[in-house]
């Protein structure tokens, strides 16, 4: 049975190092897990997860609870885009639209740059830069090279996305 996890309950089973982002068990666990060993494991979606009190939680959400004493209002964004970097300085509260702004390059991207696509048939073998803002795709221009298009994308990202702007790597 899963209980509503509180900061106090969490702190009875794990410690959290905000500088490293690592959780450690405070006592021996079933299956031969020793006190002091790293809590949790990597999951298929790239996040570190920890099972406590019948629930399976993403470590970045537990880190936020552990440090602030409250659950996040919405999502937690990894500033550097690395889902396993749970240092508290790398985490920030975000709404879905903010969190999506620093998403990685899509797997079907052929240019190697976020926001850049090749436009061979339409525009005479140019590279287009586009950005999504509040659900709308905005064209930022056509360029001779993918690097030039990416520079335009990054300028647009800084203008429209502010602190959530990202080159899409990670």
pLDDT grade for 3, boundaries at 50, 70 and 90: low
What's the CA gap between 85 and 11, in Å, rounded? 20
Query: pLDDT tens digits, residue range 9-22?
Result: 999 999 999 999 99
| pTM for this predicted structure | 0.65
pLDDT grade for 170, boundaries at 50, 70 and 90: very low
- Would the CATH topology of 7-97 be identical to that of 105-161? no
**154 or 93: which leads in pLDDT:** 93
**1 or 128: which leads in pLDDT:** 128
Q: What is the pLDDT of residue 26?
A: 97
Determine the topology of domain 105-161 in CATH. Answer: GCC-box Binding Domain (3.30.730)
Query: pLDDT tens digits, residue range 135-146?
Result: 788 888 888 888
Percent helix / strand / coil, the chain, rounded to 5: 30, 30, 40
Determine the topology of domain 7-97 in CATH. Answer: Homing Intron 3 (I-Ppo) Encoded Endonuclease; Chain A (3.90.75)
Report the DSSP beta bridge partners of residue 76.
Answer: 93
- Domain coordinates in residue numbering, the chain: 7-97, 105-161
Report the DSSP beta bridge partners of residue 50.
Answer: 57
Query: pLDDT tens digits, residue range 47-66?
Result: 999 999 999 999 999 999 99
pLDDT grade for 166, boundaries at 50, 70 and 90: low
């Amino acid at each position: 049975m899963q209980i509503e996890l509180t900061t106090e309950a969490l702190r009875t089973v794990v410690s959290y190092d905000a500088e490293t982002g690592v959780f450690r068990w405070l006592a021996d666990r079933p299956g031969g897990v020793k006190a002091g060993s790293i809590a949790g494991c990597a999951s298929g979606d790239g996040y570190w997860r920890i099972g406590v009190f019948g629930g399976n939680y993403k470590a970045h959400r537990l880190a936020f609870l552990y440090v602030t004493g409250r659950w996040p209002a919405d999502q937690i964004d990894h500033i550097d885009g690395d889902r396993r970097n749970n240092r508290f300085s790398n985490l920030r509260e975000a709404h879905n639209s903010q969190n999506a702004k620093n998403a990685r390059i899509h797997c079907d991207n052929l240019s190697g740059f976020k926001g850049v696509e090749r436009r061979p048939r339409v525009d005479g073998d140019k590279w287009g830069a586009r950005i999504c803002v509040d659900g709308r795709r905005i064209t930022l221009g056509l360029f001779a090279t993918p690097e030039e298009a990416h520079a335009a994308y990054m300028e647009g990202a800084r203008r429209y996305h502010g602190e959530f702007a990202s080159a899409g790597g990670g």
